[in-house]
Structure 1
């Protein structure tokens, strides 16, 4: 898997007039995971910027990781990714796929945001997204270009993307308990913490 520095060198070898697809993965920093507005900030900025620059693609989040597919003119993709890779809100940035393309896989400039955590999905979403099982739990670091392309082909077929919308998507039982006090990614941390406490209590009782 090329580093983003190597990826920019590869990008230089692509024709200037070419349409380019770049897919990278990264991990949210601890501070970003605790920021309740992080996803609104990212999605809002992407929506405005991408429409002006002719950028399309998709942004996926799950298990603390981002995977973003960016499509557009070579110069526009290069400028955008340099800004993204310099963003301190995420780390461990690695490029999974970079190539010239004849047509876009994602034509929606809104850069839709997909949450890839089953426990937060609505029943309808779970049924639709069954094809995602081979890619979950979401851990895209280390994916080969072939696996990355398989993932992109899978999410292209969704009638409605798997995502969390507090106003329109029903959380599962555990998510319902915390939806009023935490953003989706914070809810995950709270549930994990709760389960850890139960484990500690169980071990204490076992050895008493």
Structure 2
């Protein structure tokens, strides 16, 4: 199990197997995963049956190519699930910023809630209620401290409607999704090159006139 900002092994050893705990992990989606527009929905469907059978609740967040998942349940069940999650080849670079014993669940719904944190796919209703998320976007949970992670969880637990993307109503191809990530990461470089190209063309035209 990877070590994050806290000594995970030491903390878990002090907790009884049947105790209720909350664990948060973050990870990066692989390139293949990022090209799959329905990845979060697929993961949610696969987790639904397993989590209900094992008494696990929580929330799965995805955005900017990164996952953040908060899972709650008995220590024994959570540790078993985490080992299963970390063996999933759809994501990598795992880190656990937060794990703690709790008296009460923060996410009590038996469904694993899904939050798609890409503002461009949100409905107007979601945008209106999600102003508290502005400071967490773009979504980069890999860089967050344990305290920032706690504050984020407090922010999302109160949503009346979940800020997720309904991929059935949003049409974009895998190629388009890939281009969106490339352009966002290199937009400054592309803009500079475009300007230089225009200047070069203008200079050539002026020289031949």
Please say whether Structure 1 and Structure 2 have the same fold, judged by a TM-score greater than 0.5.
yes
Instruction: Return closer, same or farther for 1:182/1:137 CA change in 2, 3 Å cut-off.
Output: same
Give the distance between the partners of 1:192 and 1:26, measured in 2 at CA: 17
What runs of 5+ residues in structure 1 fail to find an aligned partner? 169-178
Contact 2:62 2:68 in 1 (8 A): yes
Q: Deviations over 1:71-96 (max 9, x none)?
A: 00110001000110111111110001
Give the distance between the partners of 1:112 and 1:167, measured in 2 at CA: 18
What runs of 5+ residues in structure 2 fail to find an aligned partner? 202-209
Instruction: Return closer, same or farther for 1:79/1:85 CA change in 2, 3 Å cut-off.
Output: same
Cα drift, residue 166 of structure 1:
3.5
The runs of at least 4 aligned residues of structure 1 exceeding 6 Å deviation read none
Please say which structure displays the higher CA radius of gyration: 2
- Corresponding position: 1:206 with 2:199: yes
5 Å-filtered alignment, 1:66-81, equals 66-81=67-82
5 Å-filtered alignment, 1:13-52, equals 13-52=14-53
Contact 2:60 2:68 in 1 (8 A): yes
Q: Secondary structure at the match of 2:194?
A: helix
Instruction: Return closer, same or farther for 1:108/1:120 CA change in 2, 3 Å cut-off.
Output: same
Q: Which residue of 2 aligns with 1:62?
A: 63
Q: CA RMSD in A?
A: 2.4
- Under a length normalisation based on structure 2, what TM-score does the superposition of the two structures give? 0.84
